[in-house]
């Protein structure tokens, strides 16, 4: 698995650590690192609106297919699991970590809540499983980026193509109530 050409997507809720892990994973594998946001803007196939990337997913997939298929590359971005890749790494983190990081980044309470809730109910994992068979889910909570990447490399090296169901945040619901958009808030 590691030897052959492979497109690997690193996806997950904003603030989960995609960029941090994708860069390190690409380096360890000797793969090209592709930041999808930059990929889109450089090709003029999308635009930034209030820091949100607006892009036609099918058009992005077409460009990824045409330019990257058959290459050794790690795609970083919250749309990467919707691309024609060979393996999807879904990063997870305790929703309160997402809340803390996005609040520190200056996101509005609304946007923080939206992303904390998405992490709570496994939105990206479900989307990835809708699109791909080869999905590896990794809980990054309490792990250094190096440890997360080692865990991913061990799984890839041992030929694991699918490993999901590693987190269930419903047990920590009451810890994250402060970040949730409850009721009409």
Q: Is 103 in the site for ligand ATP (CB under 6 A)?
A: no
Q: Which of 14-22, 61-69, 131-139, 162-170 is the region at the interface with ligand ATP (rule: CB under 6 A)?
A: 14-22
- Closest to ligand ATP by CB, 5 vs 57, is 57
- Give me the least distance between CB of 97 and ligand ATP, in Å please: 8
- Name residue, tokens 């269930």: 168
Helix (H) or strand (E) holding 62: helix 57-68
**Interacting positions 126-155 with ligand ATP (CB under 6 A):** 140, 143-145, 148
Q: Is 95 in the site for ligand ATP (CB under 6 A)?
A: no
Residue 96 neighbours by CB distance under 10 Å: 18
Count Cα neighbours of 119 within 13 Å in the Cβ-side half-sphere. Answer: 33
Burial environment of residue 18 by CB neighbours within 10 A (0 to 12, 13 to 18, 19 or more): buried
Given the rule CB under 6 A, which residues bind ligand ATP?
12, 14-20, 78, 101, 140, 143-145, 148
């Amino acid at each position: 698995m590691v030897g052959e050409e492979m497109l690997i997507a690193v996806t997950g809720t904003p603030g989960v650590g995609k960029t941090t892990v994708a860069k390190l994973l690409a380096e360890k594998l000797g793969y090209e690192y592709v930041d999808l946001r930059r990929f889109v803007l450089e090709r003029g196939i999308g635009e930034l609106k209030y820091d949100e990337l607006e892009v036609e997913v099918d058009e992005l997939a077409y460009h990824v297919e045409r330019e990257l298929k058959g290459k050794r590359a790690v795609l970083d971005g919250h749309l990467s699991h919707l691309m024609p890749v060979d393996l999807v790494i879904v990063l997870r983190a305790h929703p309160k970590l997402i809340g803390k990081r996005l609040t520190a980044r200056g996101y509005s309470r609304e946007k923080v809540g939206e992303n904390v809730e998405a992490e709570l109910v496994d939105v990206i994992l479900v989307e990835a499983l809708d699109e791909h068979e080869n999905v590896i889910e990794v809980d990054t909570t309490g792990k250094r980026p190096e440890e997360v990447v080692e865990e991913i490399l061990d799984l890839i090296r041992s030929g694991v193509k699918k490993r999901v169901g590693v987190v269930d945040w419903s047990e920590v619901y009451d810890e994250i109530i402060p970040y949730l958009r409850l009721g009409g808030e």
